[in-house]
Amino acid sequence: MRKRMILMITAVLFAAEAGVLAFFAMWDPGFTQDAVAVNEIVHEAEAALAALGTEGAALGRTPETPETPGYVVLDGDGRVLLRTREGLSESIHDAIVHRDTMLVLPDGAGEKRTLIIDNDSMERWQRCKKSTAAILSSVILLQCLAGVWYVVYLERVVIRPFQKLKRFAERVAGGNLEIPLAMDRHNLFGAFTESFDLMRSELKRARLAEAKANESKKELVAKLSHDIRTPVASIQAAAEVGAALAADAKTKENYTQILHKTEQINVLVTNLFTAALEELMQLPVSAVDLESARLTELLENADYLHRATLPKVPACLLSADVQRLQQVFDNLFANAYKYADGGIDVGISKDDPYLVTVIEDYGGGVKEEELPHLTEKFRRGSNADGLEGAGLGLHIADSFMREMGGRLVMENGEHGLMARVCIPLGGGNSEI
């Protein structure tokens, strides 16, 4: 509310100042002489004419005070008898053009003399307009600078935090709950962003609880399937013996029906067990053509601790889902932060038909026999003991890359675990 009032007051001031500036620029007041000053000059000119012939009067000049306009006295033939300073009108024609005041001063001999009083109101008015325009222009300039500062302020304290919240919400909506939201307690939205990060933490806790529940469900289904198969197998064996020893066709048909039903139960239990083990968290993947330059932005977003130095990305077109590719990089960098303490090496190269991004941490890697299983659901390396996690990050990343037509290859590098993200080229594999 306060900011809106400031903006309204600034707008009103702008309008008022612009109106005053236009008014002063277009107003012509009509230049007139002060009657009192004219009377004083007439008396002064008559006294000066009376003094002609005394020493110093032959120069045709009389003293002039700053408050008194200059004047010129002409004789009947248009010759200058007196003038107070240079630059005044010295003919009737010049006086008319300059809008000077002209009076006739008769003397005792009947000779008419013309008094021309300089009209300096135009100069004074022009000076006034220039001063007013300069002041108003300075005020408007200061207000413009204040407006620019206010826009920059809004950009820094409002727009940028909301853009950060938007990107954070997109990641949460995409299922990435590993990256925390950086908080600035000096910002207006500091408490707001803290609430968002608390929401992320609670969602992550719920996701871990869900993963544990799924694991428990898988174990329960496996146990139940075993427990169900044991009595069914006994029923099936007894039915087979009964069918073999049946004395009449009706009894044998009944035992045969029991065998069919036990086979049906076995199929249902097997399907249930397989569905529980092969259940996959399906998320839509829509690959489109995008410029490889977007890769830098995705990697920068994922490396929120700034541990990696990003190389130059070769110019080409990629076929990928931006949101899912962001999740892949987010999971890889989150794992590097969690399981390794140190820098992260990133390399990017074009290897048709892929653009390969290599991400290697400094955590020493994992056991060779564990590498093929890192992308399996609920599987974690032995180096993950005691660390929070559900064993889903690499599984989901591998699933997304396969859906986009690419690959995710996990290897042990020189310093630690190395992930090769093979992104398929798009647009007919053409460079841009």
Q: Is residue 21 part of a domain?
A: no
Q: What is the per-residue pLDDT for 419?
A: 92
Residue 284 has pLDDT above 70, yes or no: yes
Please check whether residues 214 and 243 belong to one and the same domain.
Answer: yes
pLDDT band at 281 (very low <50, low <70, confident <90, very high): very low
pLDDT, one tens digit per residue, over 414-429 is 888 899 999 999 876 5
Q: Is residue 99 part of a domain?
A: yes
Q: Is residue 130 part of a domain?
A: no
CA distance 132 to 137: 8
Please check whether residues 223 and 321 belong to one and the same domain.
Answer: no
Decide which of 224, 255, 278 is a domain's last residue: 278
Q: Is residue 392 part of a domain?
A: yes
CA distance 260 to 353: 52
Residue 219 has pLDDT above 80, yes or no: no
62-66, 162-166, 212-216, 237-241, range with greatest mean pLDDT:
237-241
Please check whether residues 319 and 394 belong to one and the same domain.
Answer: yes
Q: Is residue 267 part of a domain?
A: yes
| 3-class secondary-structure state, position 168 | helix
Residue 54 has pLDDT above 50, yes or no: no
Q: What is the mean pLDDT of the chain?
A: 76
Q: What is the per-residue pLDDT for 43?
A: 82
Task: Tell the burial category of 204 from Cβ atoms under 10 Å away from its Cβ (0-12, 13-18, 19+).
Answer: middle
| 3-class secondary-structure state, position 286 | coil
Least confident of 22-36, 100-114, 194-208, 255-269: 22-36
Q: Is residue 322 part of a domain?
A: yes
Cα 269 from chain centroid?
A: 55
More reliable by pLDDT, 341 or 397: 397
pLDDT band at 57 (very low <50, low <70, confident <90, very high): very low
CA distance 299 to 333: 9
Residue 199 has pLDDT above 50, yes or no: yes
pLDDT, one tens digit per residue, over 237-267 is 788 888 888 888 888 888 888 887 787 687 6
Q: What is the per-residue pLDDT for 239?
A: 84
pLDDT, one tens digit per residue, over 123-180 is 777 777 788 778 878 878 887 888 888 888 778 777 777 777 777 777 777 777 777 7
Number of domains in the chain: 3
Please check whether residues 271 and 294 belong to one and the same domain.
Answer: no
pLDDT band at 110 (very low <50, low <70, confident <90, very high): low
Closest CA to 10 of 151, 128, 104, 131: 151
Decide which of 64, 90, 118 is a domain's last residue: 118
Please check whether residues 297 and 384 belong to one and the same domain.
Answer: yes
Tell me the CATH number at 296: 3.30.565.10
Q: What is the per-residue pLDDT for 58?
A: 37
Residue 60 has pLDDT above 50, yes or no: no
CA distance 37 to 44: 10
Q: What is the per-residue pLDDT for 79?
A: 85
Please check whether residues 402 and 306 belong to one and the same domain.
Answer: yes
What residues make up the domain containing 355? Answer: 288-429
Q: What is the per-residue pLDDT for 424?
A: 93
Please check whether residues 315 and 425 belong to one and the same domain.
Answer: yes
**In contact, 58 and 51? CB cutoff 8 Å:** no
Please check whether residues 357 and 403 belong to one and the same domain.
Answer: yes
Decide which of 68, 85, 118 is a domain's last residue: 118
Please check whether residues 42 and 60 belong to one and the same domain.
Answer: yes
Q: Is residue 170 part of a domain?
A: no
Q: Which two tokens stand for residue 417?
A: 């675990």
Q: What is the per-residue pLDDT for 421?
A: 94
53-67, 79-93, 354-368, range with greatest mean pLDDT:
354-368
Q: Is residue 252 part of a domain?
A: yes
Q: What is the per-residue pLDDT for 420?
A: 92
Please check whether residues 223 and 305 belong to one and the same domain.
Answer: no
Residue 211 has pLDDT above 80, yes or no: no
Please check whether residues 419 and 359 belong to one and the same domain.
Answer: yes
Average pLDDT over residues 42-71: 60
Does the global pTM surpass 0.75?
no
Please check whether residues 360 and 241 belong to one and the same domain.
Answer: no
Q: What is the per-residue pLDDT for 187?
A: 64
More reliable by pLDDT, 4 or 315: 315
% of the chain exceeding 90 in pLDDT: 7
13-27, 115-129, 347-361, range with greatest mean pLDDT:
347-361
pLDDT band at 41 (very low <50, low <70, confident <90, very high): confident
DSSP-H helix ranges across 27-159: 35-50, 92-97, 121-154
